[in-house]
Amino acid sequence: MTPVRARLCLPSARSDVPPFMVMDVMSAAARLEQAGRHVVHMEVGQPEAPAPGVALAAARAALGGSGAALGYTESLGMPSLRARIARHYRETYGEEVDPATVLVTTGSSAGFVLAFLAMLEPGDRVALAVPAYPPYRHILTALGCEPVLIRTGPETRFALEPEALLAAHRDKPLKAVLIASPGNPTGTMMTAEALARLVGTAEDAGIAVISDEIYHGLDYAFPATTALSASRKAVVINSFSKYFCMTGWRVGWMVAPEPLVRPMERLHQNLAISVPTLSQVAAEAAFEGRAEMEAVKAGYARNRDILTTGLPACGIDRFLPVDGAFYLYADVSAFTPDSHAFARALLEEAGVAVTPGLDFDPHEGHRWVRFSYARAEADMIEAVARIGRWLKGTG
């Protein structure tokens, strides 16, 4: 092959982002299942329950109709869905939101891409607390921006402190900060006061705030507050994936300050045209399925109790009380210097799939693993029993 032809399929440098490790754990678990083993899945951050019945019914009705309803929608989303999302802010947080500032996105994942493209130039620095959801830093890297990882630990309940943010800004100016409460992988939350302090500090320093609120609704200790209550200059990203159990429907939303809406709309028109119409129809109906989702949430709360009492009985007792989401992030350094090897052995020897902390924290993650408790109660009981036997060497 000529040197010119050999270069034709060379991937770009920006595509060289790390894999999302949890996907590798899922593949390893699938291989064991194909070989006939029973695996308890605690690796994936995905509800086992289906979308609310009313959402499924709305989707079926849309499919049963003429089909005309399933063309493209406006790029910003179906007006009725945007209005319903705005109403959700009034009902849930007591905040008035103009439906014109609501954008419907393909899951919150597409919201990050749109927000980053609309707000950042290549080379801009964006702060985020680590441990954190890995795609934040990987998307930023792929877009040519610089993720600035600010270490957090149990001493601040994994919350980014205003002083740490300002220190990173003094080092070299930041353009934005990404915050998430409840957080993934830690499940910890910031109080309304702590969130307001962080948002206020950031904006006073000229740092734009992007708030990932995807786990709102899944709070056990105290209700989550939206960053919109602290500032109308914040960009808020949310999704139907978690509380509404609609991961595969790929529908989320953003509330953006008015000057960013048209740029985001133009980007969305070009990048995606619109979000799948069937999913938007189902998402709008999902808001009426809250009673069903509250029952699902009550199941997570029971799972949380099973783990927070069961794991310490097995010897895994270094974790913080879990405020929200459906994760528990535990320090397993008493058992291993390598949580990746720990997770692999736990899967292969005891049939329990968990995610090694390196996915969320490239520096300290070798000490931690994340347990997801979004599945059935019986699975949690089984997992605790298997982990207990395995750690005692009788697994």
Stretch that binds ligand PLP, among 106-114, 163-171, 187-195, 254-262 (CB under 6 A): 106-114
292 binds ligand PLP, rule: CB under 6 A: no
274 binds ligand PLP, rule: CB under 6 A: no
| Minimum distance from residue 65 beta carbon to ligand PLP (Å) | 27
Name which position in 109, 156, 191, 229 contacts ligand PLP (CB under 6 A).
109
Size of the site for ligand PLP (CB under 6 A): 13
Distances (CA, A) of 264 to 105, 255, 268: 10, 11, 6
Stretch that binds ligand PLP, among 104-112, 146-154, 285-293, 379-387 (CB under 6 A): 104-112
Stretch that binds ligand PLP, among 102-110, 138-146, 279-287, 375-383 (CB under 6 A): 102-110
* Residue nearer to ligand PLP on the CB measure, 133 or 319: 133
Q: What are phi and psi of 233, to 5 degrees?
A: -95, -5
Omega within 30 of 0 (cis) for the link into 185:
yes
252 binds ligand PLP, rule: CB under 6 A: yes
Question: Quick check: 116 and 105 in contact, CB under 8 A?
Answer: no
- Amino acid at residue number 383: A
Stretch that binds ligand PLP, among 103-111, 143-151, 162-170, 258-266 (CB under 6 A): 103-111
Task: Give the residue carrying structure tokens 């409840």.
Answer: 182
* Residue nearer to ligand PLP on the CB measure, 143 or 345: 143
Name which position in 73, 75, 101, 108 contacts ligand PLP (CB under 6 A).
108
| Minimum distance from residue 158 beta carbon to ligand PLP (Å) | 13
Using CB under 6 A, which residues numbered 200 to 229 contact ligand PLP? 212, 214
What CA–CA distance (Å, rounded) separates 287 from 283? 7
* Residue nearer to ligand PLP on the CB measure, 243 or 342: 243
Task: Give the residue carrying structure tokens 């992030």.
Answer: 329
Name which position in 181, 225, 247, 303 contacts ligand PLP (CB under 6 A).
247
Name which position in 101, 188, 225, 241 contacts ligand PLP (CB under 6 A).
241
Name which position in 101, 186, 211, 239 contacts ligand PLP (CB under 6 A).
239
Q: Which residue is nearest to ligand PLP (CB)?
A: 107
Q: What is the dihedral of CA 178, 44, 56, 181, to 10 degrees?
A: -30
* Residue nearer to ligand PLP on the CB measure, 106 or 303: 106
Q: What are phi and psi of 244, to 5 degrees?
A: -90, 5
249 binds ligand PLP, rule: CB under 6 A: no
Task: Give the residue carrying structure tokens 């595509």.
Answer: 15
- The strand order across the sheet containing 102-105 reads 102-105, 252-255, 235-239, 208-212, 176-180, 125-130, 146-151
* Residue nearer to ligand PLP on the CB measure, 20 or 93: 20
338 CB-near residues (< 8 Å, 6+ apart): 366
Using CB under 6 A, which residues numbered 174 to 193 contact ligand PLP? 180, 184
| Minimum distance from residue 178 beta carbon to ligand PLP (Å) | 10
Binding mask 128-147 toward ligand PLP (x if CB under 6 A, else -) reads -----x--------------
Q: What is the CA radius of gyration of the chain?
A: 21
* Residue nearer to ligand PLP on the CB measure, 23 or 61: 23
323 binds ligand PLP, rule: CB under 6 A: no
* Residue nearer to ligand PLP on the CB measure, 56 or 381: 56
* Local structure of 139: helix, strand or coil: helix
What CA–CA distance (Å, rounded) separates 67 from 98? 30
Distances (CA, A) of 230 to 34, 175, 205, 270: 50, 19, 15, 32
Cβ atoms within 10 A of the Cβ of 381, count? 15
Closest CA to 373 of 206, 122, 187, 195: 187
Phi-psi region of 174 (alpha: psi -120 to 50; beta: other; left: phi over 0): beta
Name which position in 45, 52, 131, 365 contacts ligand PLP (CB under 6 A).
45
Q: What are phi and psi of 289, to 5 degrees?
A: -105, 25
Q: Applying CB under 6 A, which residues contact ligand PLP?
A: 45, 107-109, 133, 180, 184, 212, 214, 239, 241, 247, 252
